[in-house]
Amino acid sequence: MEAVGIIAEYNPFHNGHLHHLREAKKQSGAEAAVCVMSGNFTQRGEAALLDKWQRAELAVRCGLDLVIELPLVFALRSAQDFARGGVRLLSQLPAVKSLAFGTEHADLQLLHKISAAAQATSTQLLLQENLKLGQPYAAALAHAIERQCGVSENILREPNTILSVEYLNAIKIFQSPLSPLPIERLISHYADSKSPRHWPVPKRSAMKWLPSCPIVPCWQVPCRRRSMKRYAILSGRLRPNIWRQLCWQNSGK
C-alpha cells in the first residue's frame, strides 16, 4: 500500500481541505492518505475551535485514513519548525511516498528555486539581520529571498508559499524520501474577510463566517464509513491491517 502524506491543522476541516485531500489522492495515485495534525493548540498559539479528537474524527469521516498528532513543540513554532516536525514524522512511515501541500503557486520549479535561495548562507545572514530588526519570521525570510533571487515579495508573502518552501527545505535537510506534491489553492485566500459564496473556504474566513456560511460544513456530509475508534494516534479507519500497512510496512516488525 502506498499513501500520500498531509500536514495540517484542520481548524476546522472545511471544503478547501476536502478539495485538497481529494486532489492529493488523485494526483498521487495513493490508496490511502495520512495526516500529521496539530493538537489542541494551533501555530499561532490559539486554542483550536474543536479539540484534537473531534478534528481527527471529522477528518477521517471525510476521507483521511490515519491522523497522527504533531507534537506541541512543533505545532506552536514558526513555519520552519512546523514543517520540519511534520516531515520527520511522515518520513518514519514507510508507506508514505509523497507529501501533498496546498499553495498559492503550484509551480514546483519556482518553489525549488525559492527553497535553494532560502538555504543559501547569504540568505540566512540576511534573515538573521531582519529578525534582529523585529520582523516576523515569514516577512524576514521573504525580504531576504527577494534580495537574493529576485522573486517578488508579494509571492513570498503568501502564507502557504512560505510553508511550501519550508516543506521542501525540510525534505532536503533530512534527506526524506517524500516526493513533494504542490496543489494549487482555488478561489479564496487564507485571510479573506468577505463572506464566501463558492468553495473552497479558507481557514480563517471559514471560522469567521461559520455561523452564516451557505456552504454545508464537511462534517455534516453523510459518510458511509462511520466505524471509527480513538487511538493514541488520534483517529483512523478500521480497515484490515491498515496500521501495519501504513506504519510498519517493510520495517520487519
pLDDT the model gives residue 9: 95
Q: For residues 180 and 98, what is the distance between their CA atoms, to the nearest angstrom? A: 6
Q: For residues 173 and 161, what is the distance between their CA atoms, to the nearest angstrom? A: 18
Q: What is the pTM of this model?
A: 0.75
The cell numbers describing 96, all together, are 508514505
Q: For residues 150 and 106, what is the distance between their CA atoms, to the nearest angstrom? A: 18
Residue pair 131/48 in contact (Cβ under 8 Å)? The answer is no
pLDDT the model gives residue 214: 32
Per DSSP (E only), the strands in 24-177 are 32-38, 66-70, 96-103
- Ordered by where they begin, the domains of the chain are 3-105+164-247 (3.40.50.620), 111-157 (no CATH)
pLDDT the model gives residue 233: 53
Q: For residues 127 and 79, what is the distance between their CA atoms, to the nearest angstrom? A: 14
User: Each residue's pLDDT tens digit in the chain (253 positions)?
Assistant: 899 999 999 998 989 999 999 999 999 999 999 999 999 998 888 899 999 999 998 999 999 999 999 999 999 998 899 999 999 999 999 999 999 999 998 999 999 999 999 889 999 999 999 999 999 887 888 889 888 888 887 888 787 888 999 999 999 999 999 999 999 987 555 445 454 444 444 455 444 433 333 333 333 333 333 333 333 355 555 454 555 566 655 544 4
Q: For residues 192 and 205, what is the distance between their CA atoms, to the nearest angstrom? A: 6
b/e code 45-70 from CB counts within 10 Å (16+ = b): eeebbbebebbbbbbbbbbbbbbbbb
Residue pair 62/18 in contact (Cβ under 8 Å)? The answer is yes
pLDDT the model gives residue 39: 93
Q: For residues 138 and 161, what is the distance between their CA atoms, to the nearest angstrom? A: 10
